[in-house]
Amino acid sequence: MTRLTDYLVEKISPSRLDPFGLGQLTWKYWRSIMRKPGAVLAQNITLATEQASLLAYAMKRSIGMEAAAVTAPAGGDRRFKDPAWTEQLLFDLIKQSYLLTSRYVLNLAGAAELEPRQQRKLDFLTRQFVDALSPTNFAVTNPEVLRATIDSKGANLARGMQNLARDLVAGKGRLRISMVDKSQFEIGRNIATTPGKVVFENDLMQLIQYSPSTDKVYRTPLVIFPPWINKFYILDLAPHNSFIRWAVSKGYTVFIVSWVNPGAALAHKTFEDYLNEGIFEALDAVEAATGERVVNAIGYCIGGTLLACALSQMASSGQKRIRSATFFTTQVDFSEAGDLTVFTDEQQLKSLERTMKKRGYLDASEMATTFNMLRANDLIWSFVVNNYLLGRSPAAFDLLFWNNDSTRMPVAMHTYYLREMYLKNRLAEPGGITLNGIPVDLGRIDIPVFLQSSKDDHIAPYPSVYKATQLYSGPVTFMLAGSGHIAGVINPPEANKYYYYTNTSVPPHVEDWIASADFHEGSWWPFWHQWLYRKSGRKVAARIPGDGELPVIEDAPGRYVTMT
């Protein structure tokens, strides 16, 4: 009887029936909001007043009078870019009514004032609900779709149904929205094309050494550890926007880790394995290839988190293998980690663990969906409109090709990372986690550090990235770039886009850093180069992959990056 009871409790536990905790969250919301009738009344009065103003606006415009709009889309909201949303009164009213109502709903959610993690989840889910109900997402309330339907006599909707059927088949019954014309890209042919060779490999990664494009190179090699949540060629998309090609052209001997796309056979691989087989074996391989024991290193996103752990380990054991470290959009203190914390409470982690243990990994599509939800209007609903309502094919865009080329996560590594860092924030605590039997203490890192962050980053918010400035004990340079998690990093000087902020000081709070920072137009890459080359030693003869102790295994970009 006891076994039966335990079995039933397990099978009907809240984490199984409601893995996202919506029932509990809804109850907490209503319990909180019922205690604040004044706040609810104030929101109702505001909405009624705004709707009355909207009615007056409609009456004026209907008789040809000039009138100021009651509300307008936020800057950067591209849903209502079609002129009809402003020029035609009916659609203008639909747009403004939606914006007023959505603001009302979001304000009601914000009035709950729940515990911070619960409040963030409530706000996030409310935003998902509001975005899904946008009039742009429905054929009868989207003027662009209506015009296309009339002009093509419904052919757009017929094509949209074909596109929908295709995406359902591709997702094996689950909708997998096509975002890019994949037929236009081939890894190694027109994407990830910087010349180089794979000179080392193990179960978790291949190490690529890039061919020089200058006669002389800096003595100290540059080693890049990208995130394993996506593939490394975000740093080598096309020649005109390749960070790797640009770094090679500046005279650096560049190596990069290309992580494997793990299957069930690697389910046992841990965060510690990624540290040992990813960071430390790569450093040994670079030494064998170049004869240089000391390198400069870059860590991108979770690759940077891993690099920080490695630097702490080396500092604790007295190893001097990395002269300087650059971190792209890297978090090590996860106390303000942004909307991704919505997916990392204990109930959801238990549900995720059960799912991953069945197959040994987190499926790539599930990870991709999570990231896309952070920018649902741009990465979900815009494609729903384009593919299924307008009946168009997705464009050929290298960044979206990469974004759709996701990787799997081994169960042992991923659950450790989410629980110990995102949920418990133990990396920021000296000795909070132990790797290879050595307590991790980021305060022991005393080498020069360059922290890159991005103003509109939804994955690694810049206030969260900035917290690292107060953890490392060596000289820290913090830089804030324009745009987001990807475009804020991939911003070649030739594009002359965006901007960045610099400041020679790192006060405790990022708001104070911004207040006294200097503004610069364009790419931050040259600024970083000026920081790094001084730490890269004298110039030596250019190194050819395969000339050292490591023989060439195959041409870049290698086999691992093409694994699906």
The answer to whether residues 482 and 498 touch, using CB atoms and an 8 Å cutoff, is: yes
Mapping DSSP to helix (H, G, I), strand (E, B) and coil, where does residue 147 land? helix
The answer to whether residues 293 and 321 touch, using CB atoms and an 8 Å cutoff, is: yes
Concatenating the DSSP letter of every residue in 27-70 gives HHHHHHHTT-HHHHHHHHHHHHHHHHHHHHHHHHHHTT-----S
- Which amino acid is present at 178? S
Dihedral sign, CA of 467, 416, 305, 460?
Answer: negative
Q: How far apart are CA 290 and CA 546, in angstroms?
A: 10
Tokens at residue 460, please? 């690694």
- Which amino acid is present at 447? I
Dihedral sign, CA of 124, 129, 132, 136?
Answer: negative
Q: How far apart are CA 395 and CA 179, in angstroms?
A: 8
The answer to whether residues 542 and 195 touch, using CB atoms and an 8 Å cutoff, is: no
Q: How far apart are CA 104 and CA 108, in angstroms?
A: 6
Dihedral sign, CA of 286, 290, 294, 300?
Answer: negative
Q: How far apart are CA 461 and CA 484, in angstroms?
A: 9
Q: Which residues are catalytic?
A: 301
Q: How far apart are CA 62 and CA 51, in angstroms?
A: 16
- Residue 514, class by beta-carbon neighbours within 10 Å (0-12 exposed, 13-18 middle, 19+ buried)? middle
Closest CA to 361 of 257, 227, 258, 261: 261
